[in-house]
Structure 1
Amino acid sequence: MLERVKARCVQVTTAPTLEGFRITSTIDIVSSECALGMNVLKDFLVGLSDFFGGRNETIQNELRHARQVCVDQLRYEAHMVGANAVVGCSLSYSEFSGKGTSMLFIVAAGTAVTVEPLACTVGTR
């Protein structure tokens, strides 16, 4: 549990660097995966939204939650290999349907690194 709390401090960015920080070491590629089951009722609601237009807040909230869980797990994976940041993070979404089931898969991946703040140069010439 304590490790999960510490992992919340791991910074994650889609950029190749973290502004205001210097990468001191590159550790490894880290990734996390989330599978979200979409039940028949939600599929029906999505169909209605598609038919009548508009956005389906229920599905959007589910996706937002799943993305956050996936990124939080990515932070944990990075923390467990000794990193304090993840750079170059990407999120991929895929859908799988068959035999009455529909699943959405989210994968977050990036490079686990250690960073340190850049030295302050204010007032030096």
Structure 2
Amino acid sequence: MSKAWLNEVTWNDDGLVPAIAQDAETGKVLMMAWMNRESLEATVREGHAIYWSRSRGRLWRKGESSGHTQELVDLRLDCDGDTVLLRVRQHGGIACHTGREHCFFRQLQAGDATCWHDVEPVKKNPDDIYQ
């Protein structure tokens, strides 16, 4: 299979592109991570989200330790070619390493712009997920 489609992605200076994972059914934004050529190609090939972990310096198969995998439903490239959108089926109902449904659980609330507030519940204690 031709990999010319990878050349249409605008990679940053580190060879990465931001990747937004969105629940294909609800439209809820689950998380943002980074992908390199290898992880994006592997995601398409395997049909499950595979990211580039900057902290680990290696491919990160979403759910490899938690079991909360992301099945690829649809893949989009934005108009500038510098962000990818993965529409996924989030298995296990948890996308965030904090045990929440998604990573965007902190909110700066009107009237209290002094700190971020956790506004989404923990669905499962991370200690029970990552043993």
- Does the pair score TM above 0.5? no
* TM-score normalised by structure 2 residue count: 0.20
Higher relative contact order structure (alpha carbons within 8 Å, sequence separation ≥ 6): 1
Richer in helix (by share): 1
* TM-score normalised by structure 1 residue count: 0.21
